[in-house]
Every structure is written in structure tokens, then in C-alpha cells.
């Protein structure tokens, strides 16, 4: 998954109900992630001044020297590394946490060169040979050239070694270095995480290498295709355990520099990419799989969490999921162990390091007494996502980051298959439509979207690589691969995968290698073109089609779907924004078929009908939207409550029709249609919650949701037990949150009663775990400082990550401006809110209609401070900007945004400009939409009153 961008649903589910629409697409678990500090730095030894103030993507390399290019030259290949690292878990005299290291790499020369260029970032080197920062020797009897000079290119993050003579092709050399670096708290590279246990502060040393931070831990050829074997040794103090990708070979006492330390050596890794390396040194304890399992599975975490059973669920599902995936890929898991480690501070949701997967605590830990269903579902899907990478990504790796979408889209897709296997009663596969496909539609309908696949030379700098970890890469990637698997059939898809993994094991590929292996599978399925020709249209051009079916004539056509239909698309496409679309269809519930739409328009007789209803894109298996002639829409609308595949009902609710389709919601009890309706209505709320339409809209929806609320009151025996069906457990959340939001009688009383009971007895929380987010939010919104302070206290005391996150959100719901402002101040105090949670907190507050303007002022006022402390911008600030501008829909908002853009362009902290560009486009679309639809909405609501 990477530092990834992973939308957690836990909060995704509630947002709307609580007037926090803006959170929806924001809860990406990738927050503060720092990987390069842009400072003016002076290389003391060479006196070369490296100016690196500007963000690399806005600065072209000053010259054409190999060290000014961001990509490694193709002259050398690493074979293996011997690395020893020693992180200090107590600060030195200057108060700095550091690590020291020694590393050697065996490299083979494949093209004559007198330069060694190797990645290194923020490491300080010791002189190891005659005043040089490195020592070079020949291997296998070769003699090595003399080093003339070594220096550091700060901007391109290289150490450069100039040799007196050339290295010889075919010969191998050993390059040895000693260095030290800071074990900082920036959540990237080799970093530290902290927590308190029984009043004692504990420090953990851990890593996040993806995409380009292995070079911050030791000098290495830090590109995914530079695979090598790693022999790792870790030094650590008594009382700590050291983990790495390979299994521990043994731990012994050694004395180094008069200090007694433990030395743990690890079995050498398989041939692998640097971004998948990981090491963790901690006082963590573990749970392990039963001895009969042929792969050792361990779940690691804080002692308190493991001892209270928070890792039990992960342990129970990890091995079955691993077995499921072995079977799915028809390929044995290549390592002897699989560790899962929960870290108190972690930027992404989780990271698929080979053999040592790291997680945010809430992605691995689950406490049945305290956590909700979504928390549990999140755990099982994240584990599957990461384990899916063990083969797809780790065993076979993309050649370069431009194919990241294949890696992430694939793991996101497969995570639903594995989770479904682990929890077969949940119907989790149905959720893919809501969680991936519809989410991708949202972003991909903008002109500022981008194609899934980029050219290799468009993604060069660490910033450009970072920016790839977005919704398109994850969710559109998943949606498009799901479509491919559906039209090929799942068994042909899996067979092709197996052949692909088999052929390219331990090496690197480009996406066409997968198409090739899928094409070679003999299957009975007739395709209208090669897989390459079909798929290129989906991955090389941005956006997706809306397929319009006219049942009166049987004509069918496609058009690039845009939120602003008249927006100017300035990115040319070789395919002219036309797709090869697999149109599946069903007529009046029985007659079914599939038709490939290969041109802009076509005529297809079976689509013609005057009496039947026709539904296309069954199960939303295709990555496209569907529109029909008005008559068919009418026929479908009358069928809404009868269509028994609930997922269909979700599909035909489109934004324009959302209002009309909401009319039937009063008799709807199913989760997916409600959730889908709510997500569509969310946009109405975002646009109108500050306007006079808001009141009538609330009243209207109140009537729709009241029956649902009452229904749940009955089936839960007056809120005393869980609904028996899993999807109902989800829908209960919608019922309560929507009821409270629209003021259904009894709702606010219920939530406040629960919260008050909890305040009376903080040690025993009476709130049903699934409803906690809703209850916290509503009770804190209805209450004052006392409720808020209690929530804050509970947040600070919480030892369960999932619980803390819910409170973090609930606290953003208060209606008191001063509390919101104080909360904002708290968020940028690292002692109060973990860095990993800061964007979430800020974006939550901006989802509150009262908090929104406060956040906007706060972010502008603190822009420099935030950009400095939270460092590396693209990803973090992209999410932040998108979150806080989501409600923008007036000319005034637009002007402010434009001024902000100018201001930061003029400052030296010009991060997030791309995100501001997108926000401006979205704001313009919103203004237009509001001007066109407000009157219609008023008329509709007016009419419904009677």
C-alpha cells in the first residue's frame, strides 16, 4: 500500500450524517510524511554550495551531468549489501536521536564508467579511506581504481564518487561506507515513534522506505528495479527486540565502543527492491501462529495492546488470508515468516515491507468490546491488501513508479477477495462499488484528473513520485482491474496472474507484461480486440465514459463524463476520449447479455423496448456510468424498490436524479441504497448547508429517515442490541446519524443520554461501538465545554487507536467557535495530537459548518509554520487543501482561493499549488452547479411540502 493513500471507511461512513461532508474523500491515511528537508546546505568538505530551496519539480536540473539527473545511470548493478545499523533510543547530549551505520554493497559494472552514483539523503559520512567518504575494493581478485573525490548532490540525493580510472565491465567491486543520521520523528526513512506505558516513555525505531526513503537509512541504489540481496545486522540495547525482513538468525552480546549491546543478525533477504526494506527495534511483544502453520505469523505491538487481546483478531485472519492468496496466485509464499507490526506513529495505513508488514495501530488492532464493525472490516481489508503485495509488487515489482497504479490498484482489488474469504458472511465485495468505483468517479470526472499510467520520464523527482499515491492510482486502478477480471472471467484472470508471477519472479515488469500473460491464457471468452488495445483506452486516457442508452431506438453511445460538461479538456488523447466499453445489460430482470461498445455511437437492437425496463452495467462491474432515455428512467424508478439486487439500486441513483429517487427512501431499509443516496446527497449538503435551502432540505429528509430510525429502534429492542444482519449493522449507523442530523425526535435525546451515562462513569462506556462516532459527534455538538473536555480527556487517555480516532472526530463537532479554535491550536502541538493525525483533525473541523471559516483562516495564517513542520508537501497539502475547500461555492470563496494561490506562489513555500489549481476548478464547478440547481431544489422541496 505504501505510504499510501487509503481511505478509511471508519469515518467515511458517518460523515454525511454529521454535517461533515467534507471528510469523505479526505480520510486518506497518509498524512504527515516527511522525506526531504529542503534547506540550503553547505557541504563542508567540498565547499560546494547546494541550493535546494525550491521544490524540485519547479526547478530543472542546472546541468546535464549524470549526478544532476534524478535517475541512476545504467552503468552499475548492486548484487548484495551488508548493512549494520544501530539506532539510539535515547537522545544524545544535544538532545538528538541518532543512528549510526556501516554498509557495504557489492556492485557489478555493466557499462564502463569512472563514476559511482549512489543514493544518500541526510546522512553524514565518516572518512573511511584517505580522506574519502567511501572505500572501494575489488571483488574476486579484481583491483579497484583509486578514488579521486567524493561529494554529495543534495537536490538529487546522491553521493558521487569520482574514480581515477574506469571500472571494468563484468567485474565486481565492494563499496564500503560509515555514516550516521538522525532518527527523527518525521514518519519517513528510519524514524522513531513514541508511546507511554505504565507512565514510562518508550521509543521505537522503525522505517517507512516507500517510495524514496531507503536512502535516508543507508546509501543504496534506491530505485525499484535495482533489486539485490540484503544481509542485515541490527545493534540494540538490552530489553529490546530487533526485527527485519528476514528471520532473526540469533542475538548475541557484543561490546562496541565500550558499550554492551545486543547484536541481532537476520537471514539474507530474497532479491528485492529497497523500498520494501524494513527494520523495527522496540520493546514490543508478540502473538504467534500455531506451530502447525508452515509460515511463522507474528503479530507485534505494544505490550499493553497485545496483552489486552487487541492483536487476536489479526492473528486469527492473517494465516487464512495468506493461504487464500497462495491459492489464488497458485504460488507459494516465498518467505519463512510474515510479521505484522502495529506502530503508534505511522503515516500511511500500512506498508507491505516484504516479510515485515508495518501498520497504523488501527489497521491491525481490533478490540471487540470497544471497536466497531468498520474497524474490524478495515483491519481485514488492510491485512489482505498488504499480503496481496507479497506477490504482486514484492515478488514481481514494477520497473518504475509510473506503474504504481498497477501495484496499488491490484492490491486494492484483491483486498476485497481475500477479506470476503476471511469473512464470508459480510458481503464485503459489494462494498467495492461504494468504496472504490464511486470514489474514483468523483475525482476522475474533473478535467484536472490524470491518466492511470504516466510515462516513465514524467515521474522523476521524489515529489512527482509522491503525488502518484492518489485516488486514481488506488481506486481507479482497482475499478479498472475489476472490470478486466469480470470480462475475462475470474479464473482466466487468476491463471494469467499465476503465469505472470511465475515468469517474472524476483524481477521487474511494465504493465504490458501483465497484458501479455493474460492474453496468452486460452479462454473461451471472445474479445473484440486484444487486451492491450482494450485496456490502453482505460489507462492511457483520463476520465471515463457515460454510456447513454435510448431504449426507444436501441441506440447506444458514449461520451467523456465531466462534472462540468462544457469544461475544456486540454490533454490530448490518442483515443480521442473513446473507450471499448463492455456493456452488460438486463431487461425486466430476466433477459441478460453483454455488448461491446467500440465506437462513439452504435445501434443495438436488443436494447430497444417500449415496455421493459432496461438496466445496464450490472453490479457496476464496468468503470463507466449509464444514462437512459426518460421513459426508461421512469420505468426504472418505479422498479427501484423491487429490484432485488440492491447494488443496482445504488447504481441508478445519479446526482441529477438523486432528488427524485430520494422520494422512495422512506420505504427503503437496505444499506447500499441508503449509503449511496447519502453519498450523493452529501454534495447537496456541502453546497447548501450555509444557505436558506438547508432548513427545507432537512425537513424533507427527516420524513424519509424517520421510518428507518423507527425500524432500527424496533429491531434493536429499543437500542439494546445489535441488528443481526451485518449490512444492517452498517445501516443502523446511517439511520441514527441521519436522524440526528435532520432532527428526528428521539435521536438527539438518545445520543446525549448515552454520552451523559459515560461521563458519569468513564470506566464503562455504554455506547454501542458501531454508533460511537455518531454519538460522540452529536453529544459534543449538543453540549458545551464540559462535554468537549470530557471527550478530550478520553482521547488523551485512550490506549486504543480506533477509539482515539473516533474521539478526534467527535471533538470537531462542537458548535462553539472558541472550542473549535482551541482545538485547532491543539492540533499543531505534537505533544497533544500525533503528527500522523493532524490533517484528519483539521479537515474534520472544516467539515463543521461553523469550523470551516475558522480553519480557512487558521491554515492561511499558519501556512509557513505548517509547511515547515509538516514538511514535504505534495501529498499532505493536497489532501488538506481539498478538504478545507470542499464547501467553496461562491464568487467570494473563489476570489479568496485565487488570492491564496498568488500569496503562496510568491512565498518560498510553494507546496500544494496543484491541489489549489484543482480546488479552483472544483469551486468554479460548484458555483455553476449551485446557480443552475438551487431553484430546482427549492421548487422540488416546495412541491413536496404538499
Ligand X SMILES: *[C@@H]1O[C@H](CO)[C@@H](O)[C@H](O)[C@H]1NC(C)=O
Residue ranges for the known binding site for Zn(2+) are: 385, 389, 408
Residues 40-79 vs ligand X: string with x where CB under 6 A?
----------------------------------------
Check the CA dihedral 313-28-742-657 and report its sign.
negative
Identify which range of 173-181, 279-287, 454-462, 869-877 contacts ligand X by CB under 6 A: 173-181
How is residue 789 written as a grid cell? 473536555
Which residue in this structure is represented by grid cell 514538511? Answer: 871
Which residue in this structure is represented by grid cell 492518489? Answer: 470
Note whether 315 binds ligand X by CB under 6 A. Answer: no
DSSP, res 220: B
- In sequence order, which residues have a C-beta less than 8 Å from that of residue 372 and are 6 or more positions away? 10, 769, 770, 771, 772, 773, 802
Note whether 649 binds ligand X by CB under 6 A. Answer: no
- In the window 244-263, what residues touch ligand X (CB under 6 A)? 251-253
The span from the CA of 728 to the CA of 798, in Å, is 28
Nearer to Zn ion, 411 or 465 (CB): 411
How is residue 309 written as a grid cell? 487481546
Q: Which of 88, 215, 298, 495 binds ligand X (CB under 6 A)?
A: 495
- In the window 735-764, what residues touch Zn ion (CB under 5 A)? none
We find the least distance from the C-beta atom of residue 433 to ligand X, in angstroms, to be 15
Nearer to Zn ion, 352 or 787 (CB): 352
The span from the CA of 451 to the CA of 543, in Å, is 7
Contact 20, 682 (CB under 8 A): no
Contact 419, 384 (CB under 8 A): yes
Contact 698, 743 (CB under 8 A): yes
The span from the CA of 169 to the CA of 177, in Å, is 23
We find the least distance from the C-beta atom of residue 1 to Zn ion, in angstroms, to be 3
Distance from the Cα of residue 121 to its chain's centroid:
25
Note whether 654 binds ligand X by CB under 6 A. Answer: yes
The residues with which 166 forms a beta bridge, in sequence order, are none
We find the least distance from the C-beta atom of residue 438 to ligand X, in angstroms, to be 11
Note whether 1 binds Zn ion by CB under 5 A. Answer: yes
Note whether 181 binds ligand X by CB under 6 A. Answer: yes
- Write b or e for each residue in 404-435: b if 16 or more Cβ atoms lie within 10 A of its Cβ, otherwise e: bbbbbbbbbbbbbbbbbbbbeebbbebbbbbb
Note whether 385 binds ligand X by CB under 6 A. Answer: no
Note whether 588 binds ligand X by CB under 6 A. Answer: no
Which residues carry a binding-site annotation?
385, 389, 408
The reply to whether 386 belongs to the active site is yes
We find the least distance from the C-beta atom of residue 217 to ligand X, in angstroms, to be 12
We find the least distance from the C-beta atom of residue 66 to Zn ion, in angstroms, to be 32
* Cα-only R_g, the chain: 28
- In the window 531-560, what residues touch ligand X (CB under 6 A)? 546
Which residue is catalytic, options 270, 374, 386, 670?
A: 386
We find the least distance from the C-beta atom of residue 110 to Zn ion, in angstroms, to be 31
How is residue 603 written as a grid cell? 445501434
We find the least distance from the C-beta atom of residue 565 to ligand X, in angstroms, to be 8
Contact 481, 409 (CB under 8 A): yes
How is residue 289 written as a grid cell? 501462529
SS3 893: helix
Which residue in this structure is represented by grid cell 446525549? Answer: 752
Residues 266-285 vs ligand X: string with x where CB under 6 A?
--------------------
Note whether 276 binds Zn ion by CB under 5 A. Answer: no
DSSP assignment of 714-779 equals HHTTTTTS--SSHHHHHHHHHHHHHHHHHT-TTHHHHHHHHHHHHHH-TTS--S-GGGHHHHHHHH
Contact 137, 212 (CB under 8 A): no
Nearer to ligand X, 104 or 477 (CB): 104
- In sequence order, which residues have a C-beta less than 8 Å from that of residue 284 and are 6 or more positions away? 204, 241, 300, 301, 302, 303, 306, 341
Q: Which of 330, 599, 793, 907 binds ligand X (CB under 6 A)?
A: 330
Identify which range of 164-172, 518-526, 650-658, 804-812 contacts ligand X by CB under 6 A: 650-658
Nearer to ligand X, 18 or 546 (CB): 546
Nearer to ligand X, 495 or 517 (CB): 495
DSSP assignment of 661-700 equals HHGGGGG---HHHHHHHHHHHHHHHHHHTTSTTHHHHHHH
Nearer to ligand X, 43 or 599 (CB): 43
Q: Which of 104, 189, 224, 409 binds ligand X (CB under 6 A)?
A: 104
We find the least distance from the C-beta atom of residue 268 to ligand X, in angstroms, to be 7
- In the window 403-442, what residues touch Zn ion (CB under 5 A)? 408, 411
Size, binding site for ligand X by CB under 6 A: 23
173 binds, among Zn ion, ligand X, none (CB under 5 to 8 A by kind): none
Nearer to ligand X, 399 or 498 (CB): 498
411 binds, among Zn ion, ligand X, none (CB under 5 to 8 A by kind): Zn ion
Q: Which of 61, 98, 162, 510 binds ligand X (CB under 6 A)?
A: 98
Nearer to ligand X, 98 or 645 (CB): 98
Q: Which active-site residues does the annotation give? A: 386
Contact residues: ligand X, CB under 6 A: 82, 98, 104, 124, 174, 180-182, 231, 251-253, 330, 495, 498, 546, 625, 627, 633, 654-657
| Residues in contact with Zn ion by the rule CB under 5 A | 1, 408, 411
Amino acid at each position: 500500500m505504501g505510504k499510501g493513500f487509503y481511505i478509511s471507511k471508519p469515518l467515511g461512513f458517518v460523515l454525511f450524517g454529521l454535517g461533515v461532508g467534507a471528510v469523505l474523500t479526505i480520510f486518506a491515511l497518509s498524512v504527515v510524511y516527511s522525506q526531504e528537508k529542503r534547506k540550503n546546505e553547505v557541504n563542508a568538505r567540498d565547499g560546494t554550495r547546494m541550493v535546494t530551496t525550491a521544490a524540485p519539480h519547479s526547478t530543472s536540473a542546472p546541468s546535464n551531468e549524470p549526478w544532476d539527473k534524478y535517475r541512476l545511470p545504467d552503468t552499475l548493478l548492486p548484487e548484495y549489501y551488508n548493512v549494520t545499523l544501530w539506532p539510539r533510543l535515547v537522545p544524545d547530549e544535544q538532545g538528538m536521536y541518532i543512528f549510526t551505520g556501516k554498509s557495504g554493497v557489492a556492485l557489478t559494472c555493466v557499462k564502463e564508467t569512472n563514476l559511482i552514483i549512489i543514493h544518500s539523503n541526510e546522512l553524514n559520512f565518516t572518512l573511511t579511506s584517505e580522506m574519502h567518504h567511501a572505500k572501494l575494493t575489488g571483488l574476486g581478485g579484481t583491483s579497484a581504481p583509486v578514488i579521486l573525490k567524493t561529494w554529495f548532490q543534495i537536490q538529487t540525493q546522491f553521493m558521487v564518487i569520482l574514480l581515477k580510472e574506469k571500472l571494468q565491465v563484468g567485474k565486481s567491486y565492494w563499496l564500503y561506507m560509515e555514516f550516521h543520521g538522525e532518527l527523527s520523528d518525521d514518519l519517513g526513512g528510519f524514524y522513531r515513534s513514541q508511546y507511554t506505558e505504565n507512565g514510562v516513555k518508550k521509543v521505537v525505531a522503525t522505517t517507512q522506505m516507500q517510495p524514496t526513503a531507503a536512502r535516508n537509512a543507508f546509501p543504496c541504489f534506491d530505485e525499484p528495479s535495482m533489486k539485490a540481496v540484503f544481509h542485515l545486522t541490527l545493534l540494540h540495547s538490552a530489553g529490546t527486540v530487533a526485527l527485519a525482513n528476514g528471520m532473526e538468525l540469533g542475538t548475541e552480546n557484543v561490546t562496541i565502543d565500550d558499550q554492551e549491546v545486543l547484536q541481532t543478525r537476520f537471514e539474507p533477504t530474497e532479491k528485492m527492491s529497497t523500498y520494501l526494506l524494513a527494520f523495527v527495534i522496540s520493546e514490543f511483544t508478540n502473538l504467534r501462529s500455531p506451530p502447525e502453520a508452515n509460515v511463522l505469523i507474528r503479530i507485534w505491538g505494544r505490550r499493553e495492546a497485545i496483552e489486552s487481546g487487541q492483536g487476536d483478531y489479526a492473528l486469527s485472519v492473517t494465516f487464512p488470508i495468506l493461504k487464500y492468496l497462495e491459492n489464488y496466485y497458485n504460488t507459494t509464499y516465498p518467505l519463512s515468516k510474515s510479521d505484522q507490526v502495529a506502530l503508534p506513529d505511522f503515516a500511511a495505513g500500512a506498508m507491505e515491507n516484504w516479510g515485515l508488514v508495518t501498520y497504523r495501530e488501527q489497521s491491525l488492532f481490533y478490540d471487540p468490546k470497544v471497536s466497531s464493525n468498520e474497524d474490524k472490516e478495515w483491519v481485514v481489508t488492510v491485512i489482505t491488501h498488504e499480503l496481496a503485495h507479497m506477490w504482486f509488487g514484492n515478488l514481481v515489482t514494477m520497473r518504475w513508479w509510473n506503474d504504481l497504479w498497477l501495484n496499488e490498484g491490484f492490491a486494492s482489488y484483491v483486498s476485497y477477495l481475500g477479506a470476503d474469504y476471511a469473512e464470508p458472511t459480510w458481503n464485503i465485495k459489494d462494498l467495492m462499488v461504494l468504496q472504490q468505483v464511486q470514489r474514483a468517479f468523483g475525482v476522475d470526472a474533473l478535467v484536472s484528473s490524470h491518466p492511470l499510467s504516466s510515462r516513465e520520464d514524467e515521474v522523476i523527482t521524489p515529489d512527482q513520485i509522491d503525488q502518484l499515491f492518489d485516488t486514481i492510482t488506488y481506486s481507479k486502478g482497482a475499478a479498472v482491474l475489476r472490470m478486466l477480471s469480470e470480462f475475462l472471467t475470474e479464473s482466466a484472470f487468476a491463471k494469467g496472474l499465476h503465469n505472470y508471477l511465475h515468469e517474472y519472479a524476483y524481477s521487474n515488469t511494465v504493465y504490458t507484461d501483465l497484458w501479455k500473460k493474460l492474453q496468452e491464457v486460452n479462454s473461451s471468452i471472445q474479445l473484440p480486440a486484444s487486451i492491450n488495445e482494450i485496456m490502453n483506452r482505460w489507462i492511457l486516457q483520463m476520465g471515463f465514459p457515460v454510456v447513454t442508452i435510448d431504449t426507444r431506438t436501441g441506440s447506444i453511445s458514449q461520451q467523456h463524463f465531466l462534472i462540468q460538461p462544457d469544461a475544456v479538456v486540454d490533454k490530448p488523447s490518442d483515443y480521442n476520449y473513446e473507450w471499448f466499453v463492455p456493456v452488460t445489460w438486463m431487461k425486466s430482470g430476466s433477459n441478460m447479455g453483454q455488448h461491446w461498445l467500440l465506437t462513439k455511437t452504435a445501434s443495438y437492437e436488443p436494447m430497444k423496448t417500449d415496455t421493459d425496463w432496461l438496466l445496464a452495467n450490472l453490479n457496476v462491474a464496468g468503470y463507466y456510468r449509464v444514462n437512459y432515455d426518460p421513459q426508461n428512467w421512469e420505468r426504472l424508478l418505479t422498479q427501484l424498490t423491487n429490484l432485488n439486487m440492491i447494488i443496482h439500486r445504488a447504481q441508478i441513483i445519479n446526482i441529477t436524479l438523486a432528488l427524485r429517487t430520494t422520494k422512495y427512501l422512506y420505504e427503503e431499509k437496505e444499506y447500499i441504497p441508503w449509503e449511496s443516496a447519502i453519498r450523493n446527497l452529501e454534495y447537496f449538503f456541502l453546497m447548501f448547508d450555509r444557505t436558506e435551502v438547508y432548513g427545507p432540505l432537512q425537513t424533507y429528509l427527516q420524513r424519509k429517515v424517520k421510518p428507518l430510525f423507527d425500524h432500527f429502534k424496533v429491531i434493536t429492542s429499543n437500542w439494546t442490541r445489535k441488528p443481526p444482519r451485518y449490512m444492517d449493522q452498517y445501516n443502523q449507523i446511517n439511520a441514527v446519524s441521519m436522524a440526528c442530523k435532520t432532527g428526528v425526535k428521539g435521536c438527539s435525546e438518545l445520543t446525549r443520554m448515552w454520552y451523559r451515562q459515560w461521563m458519569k462513569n468513564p470506566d464503562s462506556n455504554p455506547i454501542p461501538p458501531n454508533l460511537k462516532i455518531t454519538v460522540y459527534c452529536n453529544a459534543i455538538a449538543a453540549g458545551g465545554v464540559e462535554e468537549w473536555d470530557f471527550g478530550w480527556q478520553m482521547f488523551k487517555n485512550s490506549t486504543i487507536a480506533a477509539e482515539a480516532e473516533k474521539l478526534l472526530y467527535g471533538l470537531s463537532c462542537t458548535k462553539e467557535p472558541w472550542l473549535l479554535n482551541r482545538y485547532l491550536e491543539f492540533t499543531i502541538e505534537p505533544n497533544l495530537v500525533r503528527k500522523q493525525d493532524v490533517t484528519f483533525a483539521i479537515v474534520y473541523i472544516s467539515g463543521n459548518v461553523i469550523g470551516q471559516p475558522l480553519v480557512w483562516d487558521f491554515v492561511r495564517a499558519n501556512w509557513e509554520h505548517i509547511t515547515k513542520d509538516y514538511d514535504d508537501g505534495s501529498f499532505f497539502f493536497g489532501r488538506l487543501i481539498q478538504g478545507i475547500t470542499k464547501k467553496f461555492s461562491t464568487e467570494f470563496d473563489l476570489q479568496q482561493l485565487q488570492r491564496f494561490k498568488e500569496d503562496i506562489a510568491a512565498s518560498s513555500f510553494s507546496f500544494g499549488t496543484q491541489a489549489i489549481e484543482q480546488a479552483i476548478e472544483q469551486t468554479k464547478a460548484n458555483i455553476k452547479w449551485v446557480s443552475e440547481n438551487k431553484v430546482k431544489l427549492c421548487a422540488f422541496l416546495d412541491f413536496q411540502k404538499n
